Amino acid sequence: MLIRQIVLSDNEFNTIRTLVYDLCSIDLHPSKKALVQMRLSNRIRILGLNSFSEYLRWVANDASGKELGAMVDSLTTNLTSFFRERPHFVYLTEKMSSLEVKRVPRLRIWSAGCSSGEEPYSIAMILRDLWSDIDAMDVRILATDISSNMIRLARQGTYSAQKLEKVPFTFRQKYFGKVNTAKDEKYQVKPEVSRLVYFRRHNLTGPWPMKGPFEVIFCRNVMIYFDRVAQQELASRFYNILSPGGVLIVGHSEGLTGLEHSFQYVRPSVYMKRS
C-alpha cells in the first residue's frame, strides 16, 4: 500500500524549526527538512489530520504542551546502549575507586539526556559492584531526559537480549532478571540497581530545579544537537552545579573546544572543575 506524502512547505518548516529551537535549543538545519517531513507525517496520520497546517494549529491549541513534546520526541535521536563509549566507564570506575568512600558523606551523579536508561543503569551497576555496602551510603544517580516516552521506558528498565550484548557477562548474570512478556523474552534491571537511579523528565535548556552539587555529570551525545550559544550556556551551568574536583563527561565526538570555560582538561571528552 502506498503511503500518501504530506507536503511540508518552507514556511511550515520554519515554524517547526522555531518552535523546536525555542523549546529546547535544538537547531534543525534546512538540510533536515525531508527528515522532519517524514517523521512528523507519521504524527499527523496518528492524530487523523491531513496537513502540516492542521497539525501546527493542533500544536498551537494544545495548551498542555503535550503535542509539542511529542513533536520534539519524534525529531530527536534517542540512540544509546549499555556501556556506550566504554572508556568513560573505565574512567568512572577509576575515579570512584580512588574516592575514600567512607569519608564521602554524599555522592550525586547526573546522567543528563539519559534516553531509555542504559547510561544511568550502566553507572549504577558499576557503583553497586564497587561498593557492597552502597545501600548504607548516600549515593544517588539522577537521570533526566526531555522525552516523556524515553523516561517511561527507562523507568521500566526492561530490555531485549540484543540490548544486553554490551553488558559484561558477570553484570548480566548479577543485575538482570528474565521476564516473559506476551511477545518475547526480556530482561529487567534488578531493584538493587534500579533503586539507585531517579528518573525525571527535564529540559536541559529550561529551569533546573535540582540543586546539586554533583560529583560527576554525564551529558553525552546531547550537546551535539544544540547551537553554540546553547552549548556555551550549558557548559557554564554544568560548571556551576559541579562540586570542586567534579567532572563533566561529554560524548567522544563532542568536546568543549571553542567554548569559553574554566574546566581543566582531564582526557578526551572528560573535564574537571578546579578544586
Contact residues toward ligand SAM (CB under 6 A) are 24, 26, 76-80, 84, 113-115, 119, 145-147, 150, 203-205, 220-222, 225, 251
Q: Which is nearer to ligand SAM, 119 or 215 (CB)?
A: 119
- In contact, 237 and 206? CB cutoff 8 Å: no
Of 120, 40, 32, 129, the C-alpha closest to 80 is 120
Least distance in Å: CB of 253 to ligand SAM?
A: 10
CB of 72 to ligand SAM, least distance (A): 7
39, 172, 195, 201: the active-site residue:
39
Question: Is 39 a known active-site residue?
Answer: yes
Residue 133 grid cell: 555496602
All three cell numbers of 161, joined, read 537480549
In which residue are the cell numbers 525531508 written?
Answer: 34
Return the half-sphere exposure (C-beta side, CA atoms, 13 A cut-off) of residue 47: 20
The residue (of 86 and 102) whose beta carbon lies closer to ligand SAM is 86
Minimum distance between the CB of residue 204 and ligand SAM, rounded to whole angstroms? Answer: 4
Catalytic position from the list 17, 43, 128, 145 = 145
* CA 32 – CA 74 distance, rounded (Å): 13
Q: How far is the CB of 110 from ligand SAM (least distance, A)?
A: 11
Nearer to ligand SAM, 110 or 131 (CB): 110
80/231 with CB nearer ligand SAM? 80
Of the candidates 230, 259, 262, the residue with the CA atom closest to the CA atom of residue 244:
262
CA distance 188 to 199: 16
| Residues with active-site annotation | 39, 145
